[in-house]
Chain A
Amino acid sequence: MTATSPAPAAVELVRVRKDFGSAVGVADVSLKIGQGEFLTLLGPSGCGKSTLLGMIAGFLTPTAGKIVVDGVDITDVEPYRRNIGMVFQSYALFPHMNVFDNIAFGLRMRKLPKAEVAGEVRRAIEMMKLGGFEERRVSQLSGGQQQRVALARAVVIRPKVLLLDEPLSALDKNLRAQMQVELSELHRKTGLTTIFVTHDQGEALSLSDRIVVMNRGEVQQVATPIELYRTPANGFVASFIGEINALPVARYERDGGEAALVLPGAGRLVAPAEGNFAHGAQVRAFLRPEHVRPALPGEDRPNIVSGVVAAHIYQGSHTITRVEVDGLGLIETRVTGADIVGTHPVGAPIALVLDLGDAVMLAANAGRIDA
């Protein structure tokens, strides 16, 4: 784990653990989140990301470990004294209050003078482009508007940290893309330290300063989106972020400046030599579909494998073609356009070039995919 925070820590988790009976919800997570950072907790459902968020908000008490915000240990502080804003997946807008009262709720709980409440709420309403909706009941709002009210309500109390629990998952696709832009703008304008929980890697990659990938209650990797995509720390991260082909475990052979992967039943593939694997190590290579392409007619170079087209998945701008390669199993290649559907119909033989120079090589034990 290469968790270097860019600024002094706003939130620090120290070996935080949560057990549910004998099951582990979150296992000894330590994290530092920088001031003003946008950090995403990413993982499949049940990975512990929401549990972690619940502990930061104070709805769940950690079994062990501590949570520090702005240098103060808040592990045993009750939720309503934490001053941590949160946007819920269901928004949890108060159905018996109008938009104004929803946004004002937190300020009133802080016993702010009336005029000040009105001023703050007005500013939040302006920032979230909710002008004219003050008197509306929340049930009369669209999904996107409800989302903005939830955000305004959480931001207006000037929280030390803003928690977002899958806030975009209830929106349809177009609205989601738009709200992503707005979230990003909101973060820039307010500069709030933000912890965002999602299972959608697209959202995570586009919004975050750093991403924490979690699985089965454990942190798999903490990295910037680009690092995460290019150099996943293990098989789980590699296969969770984007599409990837996992080649079978191979023997790494090094001979001077040359290196090769010896695959049982598939022969030798030339491998990049700059890896720090010892001669004879068991390794596993991961290769993105964009790094696999059909060979040109008569092309002659290393790392060409042959197989049979198993399926085409047409996706508009490109086509994902699945090829059954002897000894390697199913390999996906990503080809621009749809020509390949005509030139290589299902069942036709095809030769593929594997760009192993761009592959991620992991020691075989780290390459285990336990999604």
Chain B
Amino acid sequence: MTFASLRSFGFWSLVVAILTYMTLPTLVVLMTSVNPTEILAFPPEGVSFAWYEKALTYPDFRRAFTNGLIVTSLASTLAVVVGSAFAWLIHRYEFRGRGVLEAVLWSPLIIPHFTLGFGFLLLGGAFKLQQGYVMIVLAHMVLVMPFVTRAVYVSLATIDPNLARAAANLGASPFHVLTRIELPLVLPGMAGGWLIAAVLSLTEFTASLYVTGSRTQTLPVAMYNYIREYADPTVSAVSAMLIITTTLIMFIADRAFGLRRVLAIDTH
């Protein structure tokens, strides 16, 4: 073995070891979720879907799942509408107060989720809306919107500005430029942003813990409450379902729109 190939072997072994550290916990969750006994065992002593059955019939999880679907679909859709409009706004126009508006709307990327959740809890209290869907949806929407804005903004920025000019030159009014040229070209970015927003909202925990109540709790909050009370693998089954769902959604996002592009990661 030459020195160069030894070095390469060492490097790739290191990468594999690190990736094992990153993925092992997920594999362990999947393993325990199909383990028939209540006591954690490695490797599993068989394959059973008993915990999945329990998870799907446990009333708290059932209600939390429905709550989560309501909140996620409303929040991510609102985030796409408002986030896209915002992306268009900052892509096209300079105006007074733009800096302030941007600072506020990008801030959920930096603000601790518990601060935001706490803020929405207090705001809900002020309007007698605490623990209601309105505040939960608003909090989720605000939290996931920057990701949509970013995805749409990146799509807009990659459009040749001459396309809009060419369309206008051929007689397209501003409305037609928007609907016939820009919208179709940005649609993949919007759809990818929507999927990411949905995944983030579905799995959001910290802010949700503050803004939800026992009747409106979302799945991660219900899981948290369960973990604190019991120590059986029911949560493994719920986790496994969440992992599979989110992985599937991200896989679709990647296949259809290119994950790297949607996340605006630039590796080349």
B181 contacts across to A, CB distance below 8 A: 94
Quick check: is B184 within 8 A (CB to CB) of the other chain?
yes
Which residue of chain A has the shortest Cβ distance to B171 in the bound complex? A109
Which secondary structure characterizes the binding site on chain A? Answer: loop
How many residues of chain B are within 8 Å of chain A by beta carbon? 19
A80 to B172, CA, bound (A): 6
User: Is B16 an interface residue, CB under 8 A from the partner?
Assistant: no
Which residues of chain B come closer than 8 Å to A85, judged between CB atoms?
Answer: 169-170
A96 to B167, alpha carbons, bound, how many Å? 13
By a CB distance below 8 angstroms, the chain B residues around A80 are 167-174, 176-177
Closest residue on chain B to residue A80 by CB atoms: B168
**B161-199 interface with A by 8 A CB criterion:** 162-163, 165-174, 176-177, 180-181, 184-185
* A85, B171: Cα distance in complex, Å: 9
- Specify which chain B residues have a CB less than 8 angstroms from the CB of A109 in the assembled complex: 167, 170-173, 176
Query: Cβ of A95 < 8 Å from any Cβ of B?
Result: yes
- In the complex, the answer to whether A88 meets B168 with C-beta atoms within 8 Å is no
Chain A residues lying within 8 Å of B170, measured Cβ to Cβ, are 80, 85, 105-106, 109, 153-154, 157
Is there contact, CB below 8 Å, between B171 and A110?
yes
Q: Which residues of A lie under 8 Å from residue B177 when comparing CB positions?
A: 80
Contact B165 A94 (CB under 8 A): no
Q: Is the CB of A84 within 8 A of B169?
A: yes
B 71-88 to A, binary, CB cutoff 8 A, 1 in contact else 0: 000000000000000000
B94 within 8 A of A: no
The size bracket of the interface on A is 20 to 34
Q: Shortest CB–CB separation between residue A95 and chain B, in angstroms?
A: 7
Contact, CB under 8 Å: A86 / B166: yes
Complex interface: chain A residues within 8 A of B266 (CB): none
**Smallest CB–CB gap between B245 and chain A, Å?**
31
The reply to whether the CB of A296 lies closer than 8 angstroms to some CB of chain B is no
- Asked if A94 and B171 sit within 8 Å, CB to CB, the answer is no
- Assembly CA distance A106 to B167 (angstroms): 8
Write the A69-107 contact mask toward B (1 if CB under 8 angstroms, else 0). 000000000111111111011101111100000000110
**Chain B residue contacts of A153, Cβ below 8 A:** 166, 170
**How close is B182's CB to chain A, nearest CB, in angstroms?**
10
Residues of B contacting A59 in the complex (Cβ-Cβ under 8 angstroms): 165, 168
CB-based nearest B residue for A54: B165
For A92, list chain B residues within 8 Å (CB). Answer: 160, 162-163, 165-166
The contact sample of 23 A-B pairs, CB cut-off 8 A, is: A58-B169, A78-B168, A79-B165, A80-B168, A80-B170, A80-B172, A80-B177, A83-B171, A85-B169, A86-B165, A86-B166, A86-B169, A88-B165, A88-B166, A92-B166, A93-B166, A94-B163, A96-B184, A109-B171, A109-B173, A109-B176, A110-B171, A153-B170
Report which B residues bind A (CB closer than 8 A). 160, 162-163, 165-174, 176-177, 180-181, 184-185
